[in-house]
Amino acid sequence: MSADKLGQPLRYGGTELPNNVLCAPLAGYTDFAFRRQCYKFGAGLCFTEMVSAKGLLYGSEATRLLLYRGADEPQTAAQLFGGDPLVMGGACAHEALAQYRAVDINMGCPVPKVYKNGEGSALLSDFSRAAAIIEACKKSGKAVSVKFRIGLDEKHIVAAEFAAMCEDAGADMITVHGRTRDRMYAGEPDYAAVAAAKNAVHIPVIANGGIFSRADALNMLDRTGADGVMLARAAMYDPHVFAEVLGARQDWDRRAVIEEQIADMLPVYGEGYTLVQMRKMTAFYLRGTRGAAKWRERLFSCPSVADLRALLGEIFPAEG
């Protein structure tokens, strides 16, 4: 049954997605060049990196770059984080988001500096403020989704109640990460808690956490009844995982993917940022490659994009 469900079109808030296998918003990774690769391999929807609502309103240059969208992106949602309903609502209505028809609100980030500011997963213990944020964002007229964790810890699982609150406040879709804040990214997801969230609402529910393969995705759908799945770390290691999860696994030319990302990034971000970013991404793509540790050592000592490109020819001599 879940095999039939995986890969089906998904609609939320007036937005029609080609399939229900989504790429998570990943701080430091899901820039437009990486998203382009995920879409190429079949992702139904990608999100920007996590963007500060305050930074957006203050006109931060770094925020502007985080929101850069490729001209050929089919549809992408902007992810915002913040703890003030007025600021969040203002950010959604800001001209910087005019190119985005959908906004995702981060209510699950477990990072201490975000949590201590009353943002991200801190909102799991403040239902009224979380609801006010959703309501403020909805006034922008954009489709609004919310990504959250099942609770702060095992003694405070609030997945079902929080899901219902999101729907009542006007959310068009929710993504439930099946771990508590204190578990960060460790351990198996709590499938029962995700299922409870699914059963508490009528809007689409996307399940997130611990999905690295088609088998993982099918297991998640079977055990939760969710309407779709969201991949995170799996995509960082291997963007063509979307093709595999969708049942259309294909060989991928890692060197070509890296070269395409470099070519996309250079005109927008410049040499310095592109070099740092692509050394990092290439290190992820080396997982499983013979001699990966040796290659990574050389990779992180590359002083220029030209040197990085030359090294790619050594690492992947049969590709490209």
Q: Which residues are catalytic?
A: 109
Structure tokens at 10: 């998904």
Strands (DSSP E) along the chain, which ranges? 10-12, 15-17, 21-23, 46-47, 51-52, 76-81, 102-107, 143-149, 173-177, 205-208, 228-231
Residue 139 domain boundaries: 2-245
Within-domain flag for 25? yes
Same domain, 208 and 300: no
The total domain count for the chain is 2
β 10-12/15-17 pair status: antiparallel
Residue 30 pLDDT exceeds 90: yes
* Residue 109: half-sphere exposure toward Cβ, Cα within 13 Å: 25
Inter-residue contact 160 to 196 (CB < 8 Å)? yes
Residue 319 has pLDDT above 60, yes or no: no
| 208 shares its domain with 294 | no
186 and 262 co-located in one domain: no
Write the pLDDT tens digit of every residue in 33-81: 999 999 999 999 999 999 999 999 988 888 988 999 998 888 899 999 9
Which amino acid belongs to residue 3? Answer: A
Question: Which of these three, 195, 215, 245, is where a domain ends?
Answer: 245
The residue from 195, 225, 245 where one domain ends is 245
In this structure, the answer to whether residues 54 and 183 fall within a common structural domain is yes
The residues that bridge with 148 in the sheet, in sequence order, are 107, 176
The confidence band for 287, taking pLDDT boundaries of 50, 70 and 90, is confident
> 257: how many CB neighbours lie within 10 A of its CB?
24
In a domain, 205, yes or no: yes
Mean residue pLDDT across the chain: 93
Model pLDDT for residues 167-212, shown as the tens digit of each residue: 999 999 999 999 999 888 888 899 999 999 999 999 999 999 999 9
235 or 316, higher pLDDT: 235
In a domain, 320, yes or no: no
185 with 266, same domain: the answer is: no
Grade residue 1 by pLDDT with cuts at 50, 70 and 90. low
Q: What is the pLDDT of residues 102-116, one digit of tens each?
A: 999 999 999 999 999
Are residues 310 and 190 part of one domain? Answer: no
Q: Which CATH number fits the domain that encloses residue 272? A: 1.10.1200
Within a domain: 56: yes
Instruction: Work out the pLDDT band at 142, boundaries 50, 70, 90.
Output: very high
> Which of these three, 245, 268, 291, is where a domain ends?
245
Question: Would you state the pLDDT for residue 316?
Answer: 85
Distances in Å between the Cα of 50 and the Cα atoms of 44, 56, 197, 207 are 19, 11, 23, 19
Residue 117 has pLDDT above 50, yes or no: yes
Mark whether 138 and 34 lie in a shared domain: yes
Q: Amino acid identity, residue 40?
A: K
Q: Which of 101, 103, 86 is nearest to 48 (CA)?
A: 103
Q: Residue 121: inside a domain, yes or no?
A: yes
> Per-residue pLDDT for 251 more than 80?
no
